[in-house]
Amino acid sequence: MRNEIEVIRASVPQARRPDRTRRVDVGGIEVSVVEWGSEENPPVLLAHGGFDFAGTFDILGPLLAEAGFRAVAWDQRGHGDSDLAALYTWEADVRDAALVLASLGSADPVPVLGHSKGGGMVDQLAEVIPHRIGAVVNLDGIPNKRGFAQKIDRTDVAALDTELAAWLDHRRRAGHTLRRADTLQGLAERRRVMNPRLSVEWLQYLVTVGAREDTDGWRWKIDPTLRFGPSGAWRPEWAIPRLRGLHVPFLGIVGTIEEEMGWATSPDEALPILPDGAEFHALANTGHFVHIERPEDVAEIVIDFLGRAL
């Protein structure tokens, strides 16, 4: 199997596993932190999206390192090689991000980059500790008024009670289960349903870094109690004013092709809610995973922006 993994990883020559790994205690549990580039270089903190891994930066991270940065990412709690937690909340993810940031030991404000859910997280991080944030780069994680779902009126007590009961029922069921096992190729094909624009080679590569091989097959290293969407309380009505009020240099990059895992925020929706002086790029013919579909283009935009913002 080791030879098979090596062959799969060699099929994505742009990707490179991290130079270093370490663990950070975030208040009783530990998260796995990975780094590319010299520890002497100025850091940039990378936050992956929901149901993803630090390994999704295995292409962008090395490109930033080649440009002279110390690119640092972590598996969010319940994902990848980080510990599982009793419960998951949006606020806990943001606190984890702040503690990973503190572990960098940088006296200067640090630029942060987030994809999808990670983009929303770094937006909020810049709101709560702006003195520690040098710039924000949001990759297809800009909110819109439609939100993830408007099916439930959260001011309706009965509807909210039904939704919360469903989440708790899911938690009770999933707390004693494992994710369904499959072959390495099978997991890649299952992921392809949600990421049809990404190559089979990349999706197989992602399995080698985001899944584990058990005696009955491969399964994603994601807590089965997690579900799609932000954990805990999060509404676009809260996120949009926070985003508009940021006072740090801001770069937004979105794809223009809607995908199942994406936020589907159009340029027309994004531009009016960005902070004053923000820079914005919409990548044509590109889906939600802009940094995987167009890594060189995204890296060039990000490196140029950070060179000016910092």
End-to-end CA distance of the chain: 45
Rg (CA), the chain: 19
Of 83, 76, 69, 120, the closest CA to residue 97 belongs to 76
pLDDT band at 260 (very low <50, low <70, confident <90, very high): confident
Residue 49 contacts by C-beta under 8 Å, 6 or more apart in sequence?
56, 114, 115, 116, 117, 118, 119, 141, 261
Helix (H) or strand (E) holding 290: helix 290-293
Residue 231 above 50 pLDDT?
yes
**The model's pTM:** 0.92
Q: What are the helix and strand counts (H, E) for the chain?
A: 11, 10
Overall average pLDDT of the 89-101 stretch = 95
pLDDT band at 2 (very low <50, low <70, confident <90, very high): confident
Overall average pLDDT of the 205-218 stretch = 96
Q: Which CATH superfamily is domain 2-148+221-309 in?
A: Alpha/Beta hydrolase fold, catalytic domain (3.40.50.1820)
Beta bridge partners of 254: 282
Least confident residue range of 49-58, 114-123, 126-135, 166-175: 166-175
**pLDDT tens sequence across 163-201:** 677 767 767 776 677 888 999 999 999 999 999 999 999
**pLDDT tens sequence across 28-53:** 999 999 999 999 999 999 999 999 99
Distances (CA, A) of 107 to 70, 99, 100, 204, 303: 15, 14, 14, 39, 21
Residue 240 vs residue 166, higher pLDDT: 240
pLDDT band at 150 (very low <50, low <70, confident <90, very high): very low
pLDDT at 161: 73
- Percentage of the chain beyond pLDDT 70 is 92
Between strands 70-74 and 110-115, the pairing is unpaired
Matching residue, tokens 């190559």:
199
Q: What is the DSSP string of 259-271?
A: -TTS----HHHHG
> Using N-to-C axis directions, what is the helix angle for 184-194 and 200-210, rounded to 10°?
120
The pair of three-digit structure tokens given for residue 86, joined into one six-digit string = 């009793």
The pair of three-digit structure tokens given for residue 279, joined into one six-digit string = 């820079």
Residue ranges of domains in the chain? 2-148+221-309
Phi-psi region of 182 (alpha: psi -120 to 50; beta: other; left: phi over 0): beta
pLDDT at 103: 98
pLDDT at 176: 73
**pLDDT tens sequence across 261-307:** 898 999 999 999 999 999 999 999 999 999 999 999 999 999 999 99
In degrees, rounded to 5, the angle at the alpha carbon of residue 154 between the alpha carbons of residues 148 and 157 is: 150
Q: How far is CA 61 from the centre of its chain?
A: 13
Interatomic CA distance for residues 120 and 116, integer angstroms: 7
pLDDT at 13: 97
The alpha carbon dihedral of 259, 261, 264, 270 has a sign of negative
Residue 139 above 90 pLDDT?
yes
Overall average pLDDT of the 229-249 stretch = 82
Residue 152 above 60 pLDDT?
no
Residue 229 above 70 pLDDT?
no
